Structure formats: structure tokens, C-alpha cells
Structure 1
Amino acid sequence: MAALGNQGTVTEAAGFNPEDDSKRLREAMKGAGTNEATIIEILAHRTIAQRQSIKEAFKRSVGKDLPDELRSELTGNFEKVVLGLLMPAPVYDAYELRNAIKGAGTDEACLIEILASRTNDEIRALRTCYKTEYDRDLEEDICGDTSGMFCRVLVSLLTAGRDESTTVNEVQAVQDAKELYEAGEARWGTDEVKFLTVLCVRNRNHLLQVFEEYRKISGRDIEDSIKREMSGCLEDVLLAIVRCMKSKTGFFAERLYKSMKGLGTTDSILIRVMVSRAEIDMVDIKAEFLKMYGKTLYSFIKGDTSGDYRKILLELCGGEK
């Protein structure tokens, strides 16, 4: 999947000077009213690493935390995007997971999206951040908030134990496909553990081969079988894993599309995907979005959001094309 070079819409700003940026941000918040245009111009065009330097420069020169200052000036979804941009990636993931778990009810879709799509290193980093930021164990929190096989799949993903090599064992791939078929379509009731063992542990290239073999054996796409055999959150998490293996950018394009189509916008998903992927693969997600839905991501965001919230998302989207 790794493309050459950066596939993000946000790249390092040339001639970067954190002191200058910090000073401009301070001026944007001084006096009555806030200059949102300056905030967007700076924060949507700096990398995460550059934003950390701006935060340090701001604290040095003002003696206050930049996120706290912005929090007191901004509101709503625009504030959420800005504060998200100021967090290092694993801190942002940990923050989103904590919000998904705490309080009444659980945002299972958030748990699924993050844990099914991150690399082993990213999962290890977000676990550490979760512990540091909240003095809590993420696995314990997830086990306290979810149950059954859904919980077991999330815990397996949390171990960051997926094989990340590119080796395909042909014999094993056929065997895996056969066992998945026998665990689902070919029997009464479903042996869900087999799905967990194969989908949460094998590497991407191997799984693509398994999906191919599965189609030969069953005459069906693995996604169709999961939909027939599973339900609820377990179905959702297994489908997310399969889709991330087939195409991670396709997975995120679909998340963005579903967050905006129909009545109302699921802003939490829209914000999380735009903030977390802007520096990684947003260029590819945009291309995939256009291919899948025949419209640009830019036009979707433009039609579905408004005000400064729209402006900053469009900057992160990186233009019409």
C-alpha cells in the first residue's frame, strides 16, 4: 500500500518559523473577536510535528498553553478540528477512544474504525498514550464497555500482533479459506473464533490471497458471507478489517461518504477521518472517493458543512482535485 513520498494533503511548510506562527496566532486571538482565517491558514498548513513546535513556542513566549487559549476562543465543530490538529497522532487516537468509551453508551463505530485501520506501531503508540493521558488501561476499559466475541476481536487487534510481513503461504491461504468456509457458510451456526484467528493475525498480502481462495470455494465474497453469518458490532468490526485489508483508502472514503450522505452529517466521523488522515493518505482517499462515488470529496464537504468549520475541512482536503 505504501506509496512513494507523502500521500497527505498536509505537508511541511517551507521556511517554517514557529515563533512567527505563534506570534500570529496570539494576535489572532487578541482583543474582541477572533481572526479565524489566520488560525486556519496556519494550522491547516503545518504538519503535526510543526504544530508541536508552534505549541512550544507559544508556551515559551506567552506562558500559556495554545490549546487552552484556542478552546476559550472557539466553539463547535471548528474548535474540535483545531484542537484535533494540535495533538500528535497517537494522542488524538487515544483521545477519540477515551471519548468513545466514557460516559453513557459506547461509540462502537469509533473503536472499530481506529483499531481496524491502524498499524501495529500506531496501536502500540496509542495504547501508551492512553495510559499516559488518562492513567487507565485501554484493554480494561474496552473489556468493561463491550462484550462477547466483539470484545475479543477488539482485544486481539489491541495486542498489535498482526503479521506485517508481505509473505504469502499459498498452502496456508487455501487452508485458511477452507476453514473460514467451514466455520461459517458450511455449517449450522458460526465458529466465530476462526474468523478472529485469521482476520486479526495474518498479513495483508496473505489475507488478499485468502479472500481470493474463499471466493473459489464458496462462490461468494468474504464480505457477503460475514454479512450473512454475523450481526451487530461483530459484523461491523470484521467487515472493517476486511475492507482495510482490501483498501485502507477505500475504507476511509466510504467512512467519509457515509458521514455526509443523507440527512444530517455525522461530524464526529468526518472530523476524525479528515484530521487523522490529512498527513498520511488523504490524496489517495480523495482519488478513491471520486472513483467510488463519482463526486469529489471537496464538493461533498462543501455541500454538507458551513462557516469556518467548512473552511478548515476544505483546506485539509487540499483543494477540489
Structure 2
Amino acid sequence: MASVWTGNRGTVRDYPGFNPSADADAIRKAIRGIGTDEKTLIHILTARSHAQRQLIAKEYRVASGKDLKDDLKSDLSGNFERLMVALVTPPAVFDAKQLKKAMKGSGTNESSLIEILTTRSSQQLKEISQAYYTVYKKSLGDDISSETSGDFRKALLTLKDGRRDESQKVDENLAKKDAQILYEAGEKRWGTDEDKFTEILCLRSFPQLRLTFEEYRNISQKDIEDSIKGELSGHFEDLLLAIVNCVKNKPAFLAENLHKALKGAGTDELTLNRIIVSRSEIDLSDIQAEYKKRYGCSLYSAIKSDTSGDYGTALLKICGEDD
């Protein structure tokens, strides 16, 4: 079944000759024995698609009367547990939980909010909002409103609604008009009209914005990024720059986030898991290509040198062969 959660540049595809009840059985044995058989869990769960894992979870419940996610949680621990649970969580629910995690506790993780809300399609965002309400009995918009403020809040709320135009058609006149509006809202005036930036960058299609940014350069002799950096600040600036980067090259934007998660002292496993799992069936192949182009080493080798044990093994399995 075609789903808004699959693309054609992923590393994980439907497993041929798939047998959900055999898989569920093997997983049950792997969990039930004395000591868990992690190899079997990795072997099965990293090689099945989202849709197939949902069928395994269904069979598992039928056969054992238990929830696969709960059994994985009680049997595994640490990063490996979080990764395995992520794999058996439906994609919209997974993203909803990541958003909740980014907003709970004493500080808000703005970069996670930005990454999820700028890289998902309109249809995905609608499904995430639904899943959020189903899981938390609260609307995503209400939580965003209470955890963020100002122009940043306004832009996040605009993105969350999933109202971005997704057509591939571009309108040259509109691009010229929008470029002029952006120029007048920023460079050309004293003070900035933030709403205009939000409206255009959060609602126009990516191909349309690509053309608008070219027109903007013609009018202002500046790149849109430079204007955003000069005119805006804080998380709102970060959010708009993320949109510009996604418009130019979404896989490269995600590769950069992975690089940040991997370099430096200590790994940001939350981001690592999120990007690898959520893009595994969409565009992880492209993200790997961009990573190599940008950083001179493969994502595979970066993950290999930065993670270990069953956790590292499972991530590498999702990535496929080393490029």
C-alpha cells in the first residue's frame, strides 16, 4: 500500500516473502528465552517496512495477548530499547511522541520541533496532529502555544496545520510578487514585517519557493539566507533558515543534523534515532549521499565509530551497506 510515509529513496523496503506470524513467533521466542536474543530482534525488525512491522505487532498481540512495544520496553534497555520501540511505532505516532518529548520538562528542544515540522509533508503533518491528539488527548497546537512564543510560535502553528501547497507547478508572477513582498518586509524597511516571512515561507510549495528565492536575489542582490540572518533572530530565524535549507536540499539539511548529532562529545541519540527511523523508507539513501559529499566520510562509518553494541548494529542494519 502506498503511504505518505514511504518514498522511493529509502534504505528499508517491504521484505519479500514476508510472513507476519512467523516473524511474531520468532520475536516472541527471542524475548521469552533466558536472556534476550537481540540478534533475532535486529535481524527481523530492521529488515521489515513500517507497514510490515505493524502486522507483526498485530500477530504478536493475537498470539501472546501482549503488546510488542511493552514487551520490548520491559526486556531491553537504553538506546537499543528506544530504537527497537521506535521501529514498531507507527510513523505518525512516533513523530507525535518526538514532538511531545521536545516540549516536556523544563526546557523546550526547539531544534527537534523545527526539524520535524519543516521536513514533513502536509499530509504527514495532518496525520501527526491526529496521532498527537489520540495519544495525549490534547491538541498539538495547544502544546506548541503553551511552550513557545512570539513569531516562532506563529510559524510553528502555521506549519503544524499542514497547509503548505504541495503542487509541483510554479507560478512565475507569484514568485516575483512574493520576492518583492519579502524584500519590502525585510531589507527595504526599518524593522521587519515577520508575518510576511511566515506566510510565504510556511505556505508556498518548495518548487515555488525555489523560484521565489531566485527572484529575491535578482531584486535585492542578496541571498534570502543572508537577509534572514540580518533581519531576524532567535528560534524564528533558525526555523526560517531550516525551511530555506529544506527548499534547497532537504536530504542535505537532514545530513547536517545527523552530523551535529554525531560529532562532539557524546552522541545525541534522540536526533540520531529520529532521523534514521523516520527517513529510512523515504530518503535515507539521499541523506547518506549528501553526508558523504559534505563530510568526506560515509554516514555508516560515522555511526559505526560513534555507537556500539546492539544499538550500533541495528542502526547500521537500517542504513544498509556501507557506501
- In 2, the alpha carbon distance for the partners of 1:108 and 1:95 equals 15
For residue 235 of structure 1, report the CA deviation from its aligned partner: 0.9
For residue 166 of structure 1, report the CA deviation from its aligned partner: 1.9
> Is 1:276–2:290 an aligned residue pair?
no
Kindly provide the CA deviation profile for residues 115-143 of structure 1, in whole angstroms up to 9, marking residues without a partner as x: 11111110110111111111111101100
Kindly provide the CA deviation profile for residues 19-42 of structure 1, in whole angstroms up to 9, marking residues without a partner as x: 111111111112321111111000
Aligned to 2:303: 301
**Which portions of structure 1, spanning 4 or more consecutive aligned residues, are displaced by more than 4 angstroms?**
none
For residue 302 of structure 1, report the CA deviation from its aligned partner: 0.6
Aligned to 1:287: 289
Aligned to 2:110: 108
Query: Alignment partner of 1:131: what SS?
Result: helix
Aligned to 1:195: 197
Letter in 2 for 1:8: G
Aligned to 1:220: 222
> Is 1:71–2:73 an aligned residue pair?
yes
- In 1, the alpha carbon distance for the partners of 2:249 and 2:280 equals 17
Distance 1:5 1:252, change over 3 A: closer
Aligned to 1:160: 162
One of 23, 48, 61 as aligned partner of 1:21? 23
For residue 217 of structure 1, report the CA deviation from its aligned partner: 2.0
- In 1, the alpha carbon distance for the partners of 2:265 and 2:222 equals 33
Aligned to 2:262: 260
- In 2, the alpha carbon distance for the partners of 1:127 and 1:202 equals 20
Moved more, 144-153 or 237-246: 237-246
Which structure 2 segments of 5+ residues have no match?
Answer: none
- In 2, the alpha carbon distance for the partners of 1:289 and 1:69 equals 35
For residue 201 of structure 1, report the CA deviation from its aligned partner: 1.1
For residue 155 of structure 1, report the CA deviation from its aligned partner: 0.7
One of 223, 240, 245 as aligned partner of 2:242? 240
- In 2, the alpha carbon distance for the partners of 1:19 and 1:165 equals 40
Letter in 1 for 2:60: F
Kindly provide the CA deviation profile for residues 260-292 of structure 1, in whole angstroms up to 9, marking residues without a partner as x: 122221111111000100011111111111112
Query: Alignment partner of 1:247: what SS?
Result: helix
What is the correspondence of 1:2-41 to structure 2 with a 5 Å cutoff?
Answer: 6-41=8-43
* Paired-residue identity, %: 50
TM-score (ref. length: structure 2):
0.95
Aligned to 1:178: 180
For residue 168 of structure 1, report the CA deviation from its aligned partner: 1.8
Moved more, 164-173 or 275-284: 164-173
Aligned to 2:91: 89
Give me the CA root mean square deviation.
1.5
- In 1, the alpha carbon distance for the partners of 2:44 and 2:112 equals 28
Query: Alignment partner of 1:164: what SS?
Result: coil
Query: Alignment partner of 1:139: what SS?
Result: helix
Moved more, 78-87 or 225-234: 225-234
Distance 1:183 1:101, change over 3 A: same
- In 1, the alpha carbon distance for the partners of 2:85 and 2:17 equals 24
Distance 1:31 1:158, change over 3 A: same
Kindly provide the CA deviation profile for residues 158-195 of structure 1, in whole angstroms up to 9, marking residues without a partner as x: 12111111222212211211221221222222111111
- In 2, the alpha carbon distance for the partners of 1:5 and 1:47 equals 12
Letter in 2 for 1:58: Y
Aligned to 1:139: 141
Letter in 2 for 1:181: Y
- In 2, the alpha carbon distance for the partners of 1:5 and 1:137 equals 28
For residue 15 of structure 1, report the CA deviation from its aligned partner: 0.9
For residue 104 of structure 1, report the CA deviation from its aligned partner: 1.8
- In 2, the alpha carbon distance for the partners of 1:262 and 1:176 equals 40
- In 2, the alpha carbon distance for the partners of 1:73 and 1:5 equals 32
Kindly provide the CA deviation profile for residues 76-105 of structure 1, in whole angstroms up to 9, marking residues without a partner as x: 111111101101111111111111112221
Determine if contact 2:7/2:283 at 8 Å carries over to the other structure.
no
- In 2, the alpha carbon distance for the partners of 1:186 and 1:316 equals 48
TM-score (ref. length: structure 1):
0.96
